[in-house]
Amino acid sequence: MTASSWFIVILVLVGSLLLVYGFSIRFPTHQNKKRSKNADKSQRGTATCPVCASTLNLGEQLKSAVFTGSSDQICHIFGCPHCYPFVEDQIERICPVCKQEIPPEGYLIARMFARKNQKNHVHITGCTECKKRRR
């Protein structure tokens, strides 16, 4: 084999290795995707409070009460650590239904639907102030 033949063979091998390396970076395995999603969640908020619209950090939870029933349950949502039991500065507790301010002792009223093998679905129907006006 001549020198130009060896050069072409080496060039094809290097090109193949770069192609394989490029695809492994561009299309990571399912396991690598899972790790990167978990890393992103730890760095940013994962949910929003429906009462005050604050972004909840990892580990922060809503204060709520769920009343027993079938798959459709009544739920009272009091707020997150930013708005319940004490409201932080410059945070407003606003009802997503009537757009009125919720008093400190008020809460949201919702229906919670239990789903097998999935997260529960919550539908907010109003606040304690909405319910007073409807009567």
DSSP state of 86: S
Q: Could you give the C-alpha distances from 40 to 28, 31, 37, 46, in angstroms and in order?
A: 16, 15, 5, 9
Residues 6+ apart with CB under 8 A from 77: 50, 51, 62, 63, 64, 107, 108, 109, 110, 122, 124
pLDDT tens-digit map of 3-40: 788 778 888 888 787 777 766 665 555 554 444 455 45
**Is the CB of residue 77 less than 8 Å from the CB of residue 51?**
yes
Specify the pLDDT at position 27: 53
pLDDT tens-digit map of 93-118: 999 999 999 998 999 999 998 888 88
Whether the pTM exceeds 0.75: the reply is no
H/E run at residue 107 = none
